């Protein structure tokens, strides 16, 4: 099957290859030295991909599955990773990530920090401050039990504390 990696900016083809999967196409592009800046890879399944040294500046990887992927020394300046799954991904010396993603697999929805330092739970994205304000009400509207709400409030507090340690700034100071 023919796979094309296109730019989200102008729909131009950045790399094309006859292969079995998009993952193999992306790996071949990187191995060949192709620049995938501004690549449109939203929702791509790149589980376990070898993306070391990739140039992915401005790429859109929203919702991409990058579990166990190796992005060592990759350039991700301005890349969008909203809702991307990075479980056990390696990002050693990756450039361009202002806020390293933090994820917790909750029993109902995943909790994941965004590249902007906000927190996404399910499809809802808010600052930590806003989550403290709305967690109870939103939990009720989503039919969470009282214990579910308390568990998620603890997850929010836990991720906020970790983010403050890792990012060395006041992550709770952001507002929507």
pLDDT tens for residues 81-129? Answer: 877 888 888 888 888 876 667 888 888 888 888 867 889 898 898 999 9
pLDDT tens for residues 61-80? Answer: 988 999 999 999 999 998 88
Domains of the chain: 1-97 (2.160.20.80), 103-173 (no CATH)
- Altogether, the residues listed in the chain come to a count of 176
């Amino acid at each position: 099957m023919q796979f094309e990696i296109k730019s989200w900016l102008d729909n131009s083809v950045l790399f094309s290859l006859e292969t079995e999967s998009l993952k193999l196409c992306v790996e071949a592009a990187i191995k060949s030295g192709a620049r995938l800046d501004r690549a449109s890879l939203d929702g791509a399944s790149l589980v376990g991909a070898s993306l070391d040294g990739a140039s992915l500046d401005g790429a859109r990887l929203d919702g991409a599955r990058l579990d166990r992927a190796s992005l060592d020394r990759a350039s991700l300046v301005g890349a969008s990773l909203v809702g991307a799954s990075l479980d056990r991904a390696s990002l050693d010396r990756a450039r361009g990530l202002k806020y390293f993603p933090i994820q917790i697999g909750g029993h109902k929805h995943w909790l994941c920090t965004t590249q902007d330092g906000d927190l996404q739970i399910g499809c809802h994205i808010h600052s930590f401050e806003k989550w403290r304000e709305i967690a109870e009400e939103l939990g009720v509207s989503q039919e969470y039990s009282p214990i579910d709400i308390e568990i998620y409030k603890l997850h929010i507090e836990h991720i906020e504390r970790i983010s403050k340690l890792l990012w060395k700034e006041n992550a709770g100071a952001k507002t929507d």
